[in-house]
Amino acid sequence: MLEDALWISPPADPGDGAVAFRRRFPGRPGRKATLTLTCLGVYDAYLNGQRVGDCLLAPGCTEYEKRLQAQTYDISDMIRAENELTVTVAKGWHRSRMMRKRERLYSAPCALIARLDMDGEVLVTDSAWEAGPSSVVFSDIWDGEACDATMDTTAYGPVRTVDWPRDVIVPQEGPYVREQETLSPRALFVTPRGERVIDFGQEITGYAEITLTARRGDRVVLTCAEMLDRDGNFYNENYRTAQSRMTYICRDGQQTWKPRFTFFGFRYLRVDEWPGEPRMDSIRAIAVYSEMARTGFLRTTHAKLNRLIENTLWSQRGNFVDIPTDCPQRDERMGWTGDAQVFCKAACYHYNTQRFFEKWMNDLRASQRPDGSIPDTVPNFWGIRRSSAAWGDVMTVLPWQVFLMYGDRGTLARNVDAMKRWVDYITADTLERDLWIGPDDADIMWQKHYGDWLALDAAEGSYHGATPNDLIASAYYARSTLLLVKAGKALGRDMAAYEVLYERIRAAFRDRFDLTTQTACVLALAFDLTDDRPAVAARLNRMIRDNGTRLSTGFVGTPHLLYALSDNGYAGTAYDLLLQEAYPSWLYEVDHGATTIWEHWDGRKENGTFWSADMNSFNHYAYGAVADWLYAVAGGIRPDEDAPGFERVVIAPVPSGRIQGFEAEYRSVRGTILSRWTNTEEGVRHEISTPVPADIILDGERHPVGPGTYIFYDQRKEQ
């Protein structure tokens, strides 16, 4: 792609500012014309003053040394007899300071490459283009954007051509990032400390758009936060070094401005500078994320549960900005593989994420190292060398999940070799055959494995929960091997050797590990690594009850916790955890004002103080994985492994007397599946609709049915 075009750069490095590239050319209106382009950074393009396309942050976020997406736009309707094309290039991810390995490995220039096709006539980037200054004088993914509208941007000069690889350029793969919801302020107030603060009532990822009448040189400065402190003051220490600031220097008159090349995670904005007083209608917040069709809807009669569901949705929106990120606000915003691994199932119910994840799986494979290991973040902007269990396992979990939900064998065909290389990596990495055993590095803060990250049974001051790394790593070794076997078989391959390996891992796991933590029991049950399910389930249930019906699990245990209970006879305990309001619990967050999912169960403590400023995001979707349990168990809608892509469906709802009414709707690729239950005087009334043959399972009884709507009554049973 773009082989005949040249990379062009401004004569001098623009630092943190953006550069406008310009080309004037004659055209023939009415003829077909396309523009294909990409850059090192992010760009927007204008033809004759009109925006080309509406996607943001193009060319997107990829493993740039290996893959750089280019976008093609149909510009036929925009061509005139005389044309001016301006493409502004800012730092984006590629040249931002988050690209830490850049200092070590390479330094990318500000550069553009483009090709215009006008009915056979071709125009490419070369020395005939010009470069000039942009009013975007500062732009950074972490730190924000500054625009000087008073700037004279008319002086253009020559460009230089630069040598940069073109063979990494691939066509756009993922869905475009676009502007989505628009939110008006809920409140504008002055804090006890005297700060002017705007509250949008909802944490989002995006930016603010301001409209005001001002004089030339007036300044607007807005700084982002997720929280107010317990005294009601603005609090953004948890953003760490990310400045997250929008700065605008006004021209004369009425004007509207918003950032063009970055995004922020925020609910509150502090108005640091504003000419006069902002009004409620001077500012709105615009959510920005990847285009995905909504496919899942959960509706209940339980108001707090509904808020929790909303929070999982907003955390998905806020962290699906071209790649799945850990968080959208502090100085990370990285494609942490473990976070995506645990949330991908929920994500696939809430939205159609097929294209989004297919693109990221291409990044995963591009990042996979020769030894088969997967870096802990993809793209690997920090040059992380490690590969943690439950993080790297995204390489097996994600393709299988996407295949189950959307039914495309191509997903497995593209990824199965990478899945195999991941399993082979573990086999080669372990110190003990048939398990994944590492060196004893318990004292090292940044161990190879993250373990049950942020679990509450952690030693004081530690991020790693009490479940041994070797146990978690070995459980995931089994899990990944099993998923590889399933994927290979679905493709008609002979997987006998890996089936044998899987059985050996299972046996070794059973012999080796004592299940002494909640997460240990959860993994043994969820990954089928015990021959004594009833005893392990009873032990897990007892641990939770003895703990005051409270969980102590972290990133690894939590996503499977409710399944481990409800699939093994303790649905009542699962519901009690789901609806628990005392700390630590999902509804504790809701009771404490959460509008997205928190990174820590105790992100905000009962006394209103914060867990820490160091690692405390309030928009981290990992624990939002609970949403998939609501679809798959409470609503009971599960893909049938033998008929993926919902060619058949299993609908096995598990109702609870603690919720009056519950409804899960999933718009599968084969049509809408609905499972609704209501507690009535006569017992539980189920209404189930399926567009495909289904196995409806109620109270252990299987009812095979064809497409249609069915009503069942069963007696309420408490466990």
Which one of 217-225, 270-278, 301-309, 331-339 is the stretch in contact with ligand BGC (CB under 6 A)? 331-339
CB of 648 to ligand BGC, least distance (A): 35
Q: What are phi and psi of 188, to 5 degrees?
A: -130, 120
Closer CB to ligand BGC, 250 or 342, in the complex: 342
Residues 375-414 within binding reach of ligand BGC (CB under 6 A): none
Closer CB to ligand BGC, 115 or 448, in the complex: 448
CB of 338 to ligand BGC, least distance (A): 5
The verdict on whether 599 is a catalytic residue reads: yes
496-512 vs 469-490: helix axis angle to the nearest 10? 160
Closer CB to ligand BGC, 313 or 384, in the complex: 384
Closer CB to ligand BGC, 327 or 405, in the complex: 327
* Position closest to ligand BGC via CB: 326
Interaction of residue 429 with ligand BGC, rule CB under 6 A: no
Closer CB to ligand BGC, 479 or 648, in the complex: 479
- Which residue, among 573, 525, 519, 527, has the nearest Cα to 550 in the 3D structure? 573
CB of 702 to ligand BGC, least distance (A): 39
Interaction of residue 332 with ligand BGC, rule CB under 6 A: yes
Q: Which of 332, 358, 589, 665 is catalytic?
A: 332
State the binding string over 269-308 for ligand BGC (x if CB under 6 A, else -): ----------------------------------------
Interaction of residue 450 with ligand BGC, rule CB under 6 A: yes
Phi-psi region of 461 (alpha: psi -120 to 50; beta: other; left: phi over 0): left
CB of 242 to ligand BGC, least distance (A): 13
Helix (H) or strand (E) holding 98: none
The distance from CA 249 to its chain's CA centroid, rounded to whole angstroms, is: 33
Cα 382 to Cα 96, 111, 193: the distances in Å are: 12, 22, 37
Interaction of residue 336 with ligand BGC, rule CB under 6 A: yes
CB of 362 to ligand BGC, least distance (A): 21
The distance from CA 532 to its chain's CA centroid, rounded to whole angstroms, is: 36
Q: Are 369 and 383 in contact (CB under 8 A)?
A: no
Cα 603 to Cα 396, 593, 598: the distances in Å are: 31, 12, 7
Three-state SS for 404? helix
Interaction of residue 338 with ligand BGC, rule CB under 6 A: yes
Query: How many angstroms separate the most distant Cα atoms in the chain?
Result: 81
CB of 620 to ligand BGC, least distance (A): 6
Interaction of residue 142 with ligand BGC, rule CB under 6 A: no
Which one of 272-280, 302-310, 325-333, 396-404 is the stretch in contact with ligand BGC (CB under 6 A)? 325-333
- Which residue, among 401, 383, 579, has the nearest Cα to 486 in the 3D structure? 401
Closer CB to ligand BGC, 229 or 326, in the complex: 326
Three-state SS for 320? strand
- Which residue, among 669, 631, 692, 626, has the nearest Cα to 352 in the 3D structure? 669
Interaction of residue 339 with ligand BGC, rule CB under 6 A: yes
CB of 445 to ligand BGC, least distance (A): 11
Q: What are phi and psi of 180, to 5 degrees?
A: -120, -115
CB of 260 to ligand BGC, least distance (A): 27
How many CA atoms within 13 Å lie on the side-chain side of 675? 24
* Measured distance CA(57)–CA(283) in Å, rounded: 22
- Tokens standing for residue 441: 């590095």
- Tokens standing for residue 668: 């599968």
Closer CB to ligand BGC, 327 or 633, in the complex: 327
Residue 120 burial class via C-beta count within 10 angstroms: exposed 0-12, middle 13-18, buried 19 and up = exposed
Interaction of residue 465 with ligand BGC, rule CB under 6 A: no
Residues 609-638 within binding reach of ligand BGC (CB under 6 A): 620
Q: Are 582 and 550 in contact (CB under 8 A)?
A: yes
- The site that binds ligand BGC (CB under 6 A) totals a number of residues, namely 9
Interaction of residue 143 with ligand BGC, rule CB under 6 A: no
**101 DSSP assignment:** H
Closer CB to ligand BGC, 324 or 407, in the complex: 324
Closer CB to ligand BGC, 568 or 617, in the complex: 617
Indicate which single residue of 453, 588, 618, 631 sits in contact with ligand BGC (rule: CB under 6 A).
Answer: 453
Residue 155 burial class via C-beta count within 10 angstroms: exposed 0-12, middle 13-18, buried 19 and up = exposed
How many CA atoms within 13 Å lie on the side-chain side of 38? 25
Interaction of residue 234 with ligand BGC, rule CB under 6 A: no
Return the active site residues: 332, 599
Q: Which residues bind ligand BGC (CB under 6 A)?
A: 326-327, 332, 336, 338-339, 450, 453, 620
